[in-house]
Amino acid sequence: MNAVRNESDVQARAVGAIETLYGKGISDLKLRSLFSLPNEQKREEWDAQTTFMLNNLQYVVDLTIREQDGIITNARLIDVMKPL
């Protein structure tokens, strides 16, 4: 896999991971927040919080993505809610 160096790389990797986990029926996938881990000066991983719609429900999923090779090291469901 290729290195993940910027927000557009993270977005592309997040779309692939979410589609793998939840299927192709997702819509409105967005990066809610993006942080580098452990910090900006010594970045090893990206922490990307994503939101998307599936079956009229909004999901919030947190992904940890290694910068050097783009491997998803952690995926965690934060919340599922019915949008207002």
Q: Which pLDDT tens digits describe the chain residue by residue (84 residues)? A: 789 999 999 999 999 999 999 999 999 999 999 999 887 778 899 999 999 999 999 999 999 999 999 999 999 999 999 988
DSSP of 39-57: -STTEEEEEEEEEEEETTE
In a domain, 76, yes or no: yes
In a domain, 70, yes or no: yes
Residue type present at position 4: V
> The domain containing residue 45 runs over which residues?
7-81
CA distances (Å), 73 to each of 29, 48, 56, in order? Answer: 20, 12, 28
Q: In angstroms, how far is CA 27 from the centroid of its own chain?
A: 14
In a domain, 1, yes or no: no
In a domain, 2, yes or no: no
CA distances (Å), 23 to each of 6, 26, 36, 37, 69, in order? Answer: 25, 7, 27, 28, 23
CATH no. for residue 37? 3.10.450
* pLDDT at res. 38: 85
- The total number of structural domains in the chain stands at 1
